[in-house]
Amino acid sequence: MKVSIIIPVYNVASYIEACIQSVFNQTYKNIEIIIVDDCGTDNSMEIIEKIISVYKGSFIIQILHHNQNQGLSAARNTGISHATGEYLYFLDSDDTISVDCITLLTAPILKGNNVDFVIADYQVIGATKVYPPLLLNDGIITENSNIINSYCQKRWYPMAVNKLIKKDFIIQNKLFFKEGLLHEDELWSFLLASSAKSMYVIKDKTYFYYIRNNSITTHITRRNLEAIATIIKEIRQIITDHKIVTNYHTYCLIEELKISSFIKKYKCNCRFNLYDIYKTIYFKNRITDITFRTLIKHPNKFLWEVQYHLPVKLGYYYCISLTKLFLFYKGSKIS
């Protein structure tokens, strides 16, 4: 069984050699490496060409070039369209994988588990905050309702990396990344969870996820918050298109994305008005069939829900006030 490892490359000269070498060191031997050059401005590709020129292994290596910078989503999509492996694996070019990564992820499939995707745990390096852990137990999970509920409960992480995914499943379900969008993994992983009927969980840490100070996800701008608004709208549409039975967990997923964006606005001191986003996206794209009895059991969610029963302008200021109150309370708890 061939596995295609897709590595988008853009301005990662300091990290790319470690990334590529971690792939060369894999104990699993039927691997195709797909490197997508997304037109960076540093010498990343020169480093890659030098590494490949002295490579003596048996892995197939494809180097694909974009004519201009198109972003991470487009680079991954290019990799998907050119991959010849039965299963695909996304690896970011500033991260690394364990030597037995692909061996461990392919093991359940080679033992006869015909699953849509396999997920393993990961280790975060260089972070000052907690990243979403893998909370599921080892083994197979079947039925889409179990998969989507576990995702909405944040029992598995939204990053696209460190998942071995059947290529036919990706093509049939049109699991391509939305281009031109920041935080694209949030949307893609929800679509993955909405489409999959089976997944296999491995608790081994097979991926080393490095947090860089200059990463686009560590700086919050207006574009970041607009991207979250787009993701909320798209997730709401996926729920409708896939006829997903909405429950408290899917409700929380959407509303917590909204909460986090307002919190980031104040924590990062972004000085612009969110009202237009709130009015056109946040206020309209919500789950309305959560019962009062359910909400009353969760006071924090009940307080948040009140905004939607007010006129939109008043709801906006109510939302901002809740955000300030949360930050004040959090600050007082820390001090």
- Of 80, 69, 74, 95, nearest in space to 16 by CA: 95
- Report the alpha-carbon distance of residue 191 to residue 173 in Å, rounded: 9
Number of domains in the chain: 2
Same domain, 187 and 275: no
Per-residue pLDDT of the chain (335 residues; tens, 9 = 90+): 999 999 999 999 999 999 999 999 999 999 999 999 999 999 999 999 999 999 999 999 999 999 999 999 999 999 999 999 999 999 999 999 999 999 999 999 999 999 999 999 999 998 877 888 999 999 999 999 999 999 999 999 999 999 999 999 999 999 999 999 988 999 999 999 999 999 999 999 999 999 876 554 445 667 778 888 899 999 999 998 888 888 899 999 999 999 888 887 766 666 567 888 899 889 989 888 888 889 999 998 999 999 999 999 999 999 989 988 888 776 655 43
Same domain, 257 and 126: no
Same domain, 111 and 56: yes
Q: Which two tokens stand for residue 156?
A: 């598995």
Domain residues for 45?
3-216
Same domain, 105 and 203: yes
CA distances from residue 138 to 90, 118, 135, 200, 328 in whole angstroms, order as listed: 21, 11, 10, 7, 40
Same domain, 166 and 242: no
What are the residues facing 274 on neighbouring strands? none
Same domain, 236 and 171: no
Tell me which of 216, 243, 271 is where a domain ends: 216
At 188, which amino acid appears? Answer: W
Same domain, 163 and 312: no
- pTM of this structure: 0.91
Same domain, 263 and 181: no
Tell me which of 195, 216, 237 is where a domain ends: 216
Same domain, 212 and 244: no
Same domain, 330 and 198: no
CATH code of the domain covering residue 84: 3.90.550.10
- Report the alpha-carbon distance of residue 150 to residue 132 in Å, rounded: 13
Same domain, 164 and 225: no
DSSP string, 86-124: SEEEE--TT-EE-TTHHHHHHHHHHTT---SEEEEEEEE
- Residue 335 has a pLDDT of 37
Tell me which of 191, 216, 241 is where a domain ends: 216
Same domain, 205 and 261: no
- Report the alpha-carbon distance of residue 111 to residue 120 in Å, rounded: 17
- Residue 216 has a pLDDT of 47
- Residue 84 has a pLDDT of 98
Collapsing DSSP to helix, strand or coil, 208 comes out as strand
